[in-house]
Chains A and B, each alone.
Chain A
Amino acid sequence: MTLSLVLRFASRDWRAGELRLLLAALLLAVGAVSAISLFVDRLHRALIAESTTFLGADRVIDSSRPIPDAFREAATERGIVQADVITFPSMVFAASEGNDRNLLASVKAVAAGYPLRGTLRTAGEPFSEGAFTDALPAPGEVWMDSRLFPALGVAVGDRVAVGYEEFTVGAVLTAEPDRGGSFFDFAPRLLMRAEDVPATRVVQPGSRIGYRLALAGDDAPLASLYDAISEELRPNYRWRSIRDANATIGRALERAESFLLLGGLLAVLLAGIAVALGANRYSRRHFDHVAVLKTLGATPSDIQWGYTGVLLVIGLAGAVLGLVLGALVHLGIIAALGRFLPIDLPMPGPRPLFIGLVTGFICLLAFALPPLLALRGISPMRVIRRDLAHGVAPAVTYSFAIIGSLGLLVWYSGNVFLTIWALLGAVVTGSVFASMALLLLRGGRVLGMQAGSVWRLALAGLQRRYRENVAQIMIFGFAIMLLLIMLLVRTALIDEWQAQIPEGTPNHFLMNVGSDEADAVQELLTSRTEYEGELFPMIRGRITEVNGMSSREWREQRRELRRGPDGPPRGPSTRGSRNLTFSAELPENNVLVDGEWWPADGDEPLVSLEADYAEDNGLSIGDTLGFDIGGLPLAAEVANIRRVEWDSLAPNFFLILSPAALKGYPATYMTSFHLPKEQKRFLSELLAAHPSITVIDVDGIIAQVRGIIDRVTQAVELVLYLVLSAGVLVLIASIQSSRDQRLREHALLRALGGTRKLIGGALVSEFAVLGVFAGLVAVIGAEITVYALNTQIFELSHAFHPWLWAAGPAFGMALIAAVGYLGTRKLVHSPPATVLREV
């Protein structure tokens, strides 16, 4: 067949309306997938951009050594924007007459360009919210945390001294984007210009200084930079991205991505089903057509290539129009949600469009080609005998579709695990569905014998065409199941996220409480706030020995054992001091994973280790650790290993000792508590009564985490709605594809005297019964799949959903009866002769 003949055939089929369902299905497939991909891609980029404000950059290189110029040059070569940040602790002094108050501050000296991502916030008054600003302190000026003001007894405009240099206090610093990195950056912040640092003469060899090179740029140059310098990074420089910077955000993002991906996968599957249904209908309506063509001399190859050609023409049209549709839909979503999406979405990459295009063609090949290839085998004898059997074996169709879906899903998601779970769920439930649907239809027929005429007619109709109806129940059930899966997983995800930062999460840390003040502070907190916690003693100490070996020897031995002579050292560091605490009880947010907690009144010196810390340092139960605490030695045996919820915003410790080990050593105390916004003044009161204690306000961090989680939640819900509409369209396509046969039967009944009411009633009842059955099988499939997804992919706790067992079938009944009625209403009201001629 020549191309021009194929085009002529395609245009005639189009004119006759034969290709519309197929094209619509294809448009839906490409449109839904590209709309979801485009939106997800842009949202993803936006979320990443948003989250990078947590770092104040896209990536950072941290070190206790100055950043080598080689790194800067390599970054400049790749067009990466950079800003230097130096942090160091320093005493800050009030520099006015008669005021000699001072406090240890964490000084951050920044170069022009900082912050590369996110915005600073400043205010004129301490403890107020402040406003965003693009400025930095002018040279000779500093901005300070609220709590430095009462502690130093200064106000904006006063002078303070850092080292040998005096500065004017220019503003109150109320938020900085990269504050969230570490809760252990306890001291209040003082922000100044990097060029002012030398004059302070604070930075000397041996000072504790943190050097940071903040980087901003596209993923590709950043990755290339990492590859170029990764060798030199180890062991002294740390390369960090948002995922390392904050575990909560990182995990929320990962899960959201998985979910959006899952949504995309389901949309692809639904679209594939719609394409298959459209192609089946097209093919069935062409049996006679093909038989006639064959009598006129069309060979089987002509038929095969001709219809493949028509399919490609449609595929091309569907793909191009689908992309346009997808782009429009995604713009529509963005426009509709503009109010809820207060972030600017960056431009999408080319991948979403490519995904849409390839999806369209694979859908065609896997789902539409098999029914069309069946046309090749149509016997020309059909022109004489209409009843001749025909068609491909369903097994061939199904295997094509399964292979197609598998390929598409793996390629699309790049996540074999997720794909296999989704598909395994589909296949297993598919076979369970088929046998259940058959049983339900048989049972329905028996019940129907006793029912009124409308129901008897409906149930007899279902039983008579049981093959088609089993298939339709499977399709309906599958579509409803996919929708339920989305709904359940979404609910579980969002609940989990919301639970991470519940109302009343501690938003202030209290540190440096002296042992003589502890009781008074506890008293004050309990009486003035809703505080119910306890103060943890904090003792600084160094680990000097492991199992009688010096820590250094232990580290060398571990290095040899685990990584060979060139591996990084493993073992407790002897250099820095650690925060130690003691407790009679296992603290909240801690779970024992090995060993037992010590008795409250025990007298043995024991130590409990955080699980990752134990693993990293090669320590296990029974090992003995030797400590140096303010010059006094202490030995304690490892009694148990704990897992800690680091995100809980409660004080957490790597090492907890038994009271017997640490009691008597000089300690300061710490705790965390929640203080509502309107009670912030309490802080001034607390600091006035206990000027030496340190208060750290983490409200900003919590608000940032909440903001990101809210947006991820919105994204997740949006995708749910998109998949939902794809699902409804599949239902419509499915009802369309079975319409002809149903209508022919019912038109015959009407010709024999059935009233419209009877026929309409029977049609709606038939669809309602199909809906109930489909809802039932969908619930079973959804429960199983969601269980697997929650436990295997999203790592969420799982509970079954009793309400679903009632809601699923009811939803199926209402939805399918409604869609079925709307799809057939017009023809029920046309004269039977018209219907018989049309179908």
Chain B
Amino acid sequence: MSTPILSAQAVVKRVPTAEGELTILDQIDLAVGAGDQVAVVGESGSGKTTLLGILAGLDLPSSGEVWLDGDQITAMGEEDRARVRGRCVGFVFQSFQLIDSLTALENVMLPLELRGDRQARDDARDFLDRVGLGARTTHYPRQLSGGEQQRVAIARAFASGPKVLFADEPTGNLDTATGAKVADLLFDLNREAGTTLVLVTHDAALASRCGATITLAAGRIVEPLLEAVE
């Protein structure tokens, strides 16, 4: 494995519930090298999504450390974590998370605008071209199919040139054929950009396309970072 760009040490996440404290993640240790593709798999409720949130700096663990691109993001406030996300993280979500009131182009422009990119419009147009939606720039999300929406989301994720891309069930809301096309697109762009990919899924076929797999069960890693057999 190359130098880790993302690592977790002894990460624990507990949440209070009516029946007392519930441990969602228990002593998670992992390291992901720059340019690696890692799938996180497990059954529903195993803690995959929570782990993704913590690794990406969207949420904080109850204890433990997470390092992302040289920063210990667990020691940062939300303000600094947001900057780290803006600098080196991209996301693709199961439910696309496009902003309804913005056109496809404006959705892709958003991360560029937030970092003050003066050529946001042109760059965003390039990315929409690359995902095959160059003709749909002025369309609103509700005018696009699920597959098209996810392609816009992928264009947005890559537009900011992230070092690490987090994908949460990116094909979960799509039919098999569309899902396969979206997955192809995701992996192609990822390979081109040399981005590190952390992919949460319970689709074994999708997971198998990643270089490595982490399997979670009841908040624990049961099969640590197995190198996939190509």
* A residues adjacent to B (C-beta < 8 A): 1-2, 5, 8, 12-13, 15-16, 18, 288-289, 291-302, 379-381, 383-385, 837
Contacts and interface: CB of A to CB of B under 8 A. Distances in A.
A297 B87 contact: yes
Contacts of A294: 58, 82, 85
- Chain B interface: which size bin? 20 to 34
A296 B93 contact: no
A18 B98 CA distance: 16
Contacts of A5: 113-114
Contact of A296 (B52, B101, B114, B168): B114
24 contacts: A12-B102, A13-B101, A16-B100, A291-B97, A292-B97, A292-B110, A294-B82, A294-B85, A295-B89, A296-B160, A298-B86, A299-B83, A300-B78, A300-B79, A300-B82, A301-B79, A302-B114, A380-B58, A380-B59, A380-B82, A381-B53, A381-B59, A384-B93, A384-B168
Interface in B71-115: 78-79, 82-83, 85-87, 89, 91, 93, 97-102, 106, 110-111, 113-115
B99 A292 contact: yes
B26 to A, nearest CB: 19
B119 to A, nearest CB: 14
A8 B121 CA distance: 13
A757 to B, nearest CB: 29
Interface in B53-69: 53, 56, 58-59
B101 A293 contact: no
Contacts of A381: 53, 58-59
B110 A379 contact: no
Contacts of B82: 294, 297-300, 302, 380
B114 A298 contact: yes
Q: Which of B79, B85, B93, B160 has the most CB of A within 10 A?
A: B85
Given A295-B58, A299-B82, A383 B114 contact: no
Nearest to A297: B86
Interface string B103-134: 00010001101111000000000000000000
A785 to B, nearest CB: 42
Contacts of A384: 49, 52-53, 58, 93, 168
B45 to A, nearest CB: 13
Given A295-B56, A384-B58, 6 more contacts: A293-B114, A294-B82, A298-B82, A298-B114, A299-B83, A301-B79
A812 B83 CA distance: 51
A770 to B, nearest CB: 30
A385 B49 contact: yes
Contacts of B156: 296
Contacts of B113: 5, 8
Given A296-B86, A297-B87, A301-B79, A383 B160 contact: no
A295 B85 contact: yes
Nearest to B58: A380
A579 B135 CA distance: 100
A132 B91 CA distance: 84
B142 interface: yes
B95 to A, nearest CB: 8
A111 to B, nearest CB: 73
A255 to B, nearest CB: 51
Majority-rule SS of A interface residues: helix
B111 A383 contact: no
A296 B58 contact: no
A379 B83 contact: no
B58 A288 contact: no
Contacts of A385: 49
Contacts of B110: 292-293, 296
B102 A383 contact: no
Contacts of A13: 101
A1 B86 CA distance: 13
A294 B89 CA distance: 11
B85 A296 contact: yes
B69 to A, nearest CB: 13
Q: Which of B58, B85, B102 has the most CB of A within 10 A?
A: B58
A837 B101 contact: no
Nearest to A16: B101
B101 A2 contact: no
Q: Which of B79, B82, B116 has the most CB of A within 10 A?
A: B82
A381 B93 CA distance: 11
B121 to A, nearest CB: 11
Contacts of A379: 58-59
B97 A299 contact: no
Contacts of B52: 384
A2 B78 contact: no
B161 to A, nearest CB: 12
Given A5-B113, A380-B58, A384-B168, A297 B83 contact: yes
Contacts of B89: 295, 297
A310 to B, nearest CB: 13
Contacts of B87: 297
Contacts of A383: 58, 91, 93, 97
A88 B227 CA distance: 119
Q: Which 8 residue pairs of A and B lie closest in terms of their CB atoms, listed nearest first?
A: A297-B86, A16-B101, A299-B82, A296-B111, A380-B58, A299-B79, A297-B85, A381-B59
A380 B102 CA distance: 19
Contacts of B78: 299-300
Contacts of A2: 116
Nearest to A15: B101
Nearest to B85: A297
A747 to B, nearest CB: 16
A297 B106 contact: no
Contacts of B142: 837
A89 B52 CA distance: 103
A737 to B, nearest CB: 18
Nearest to B101: A16
B145 to A, nearest CB: 14
Contacts of A15: 101
A93 to B, nearest CB: 92
Contacts of B115: 297
A293 B142 CA distance: 19
A297 B160 CA distance: 10
Q: Which of B49, B93, B110 has the most CB of A within 10 A?
A: B110
Contacts of A301: 79
A290 B167 CA distance: 19
Contact of B111 (A1, A18, A288, A297): A297
Interface string B201-213: 0000000000000
A74 B106 CA distance: 70
A836 to B, nearest CB: 12
A289 B78 CA distance: 17
A383 B114 CA distance: 18
Nearest to A14: B101
B153 to A, nearest CB: 10
B98 to A, nearest CB: 8
A16 B99 CA distance: 11
Given A5-B113, A384-B53, A18 B101 contact: yes
A161 to B, nearest CB: 91
A12 B106 contact: yes
B114 A289 contact: no
Contacts of B53: 381, 384
B43 to A, nearest CB: 17
Contacts of B49: 384-385
Nearest to B200: A384
Interface string B146-184: 000000000010001000000010000000000000000
A1 B49 CA distance: 30
Contacts of A16: 100-102
A288 B97 contact: yes
Contacts of B114: 1, 5, 293, 296-298, 302
B169 to A, nearest CB: 10
Contacts of A299: 78-79, 82-83, 86
A379 B57 CA distance: 11
A29 B79 CA distance: 35
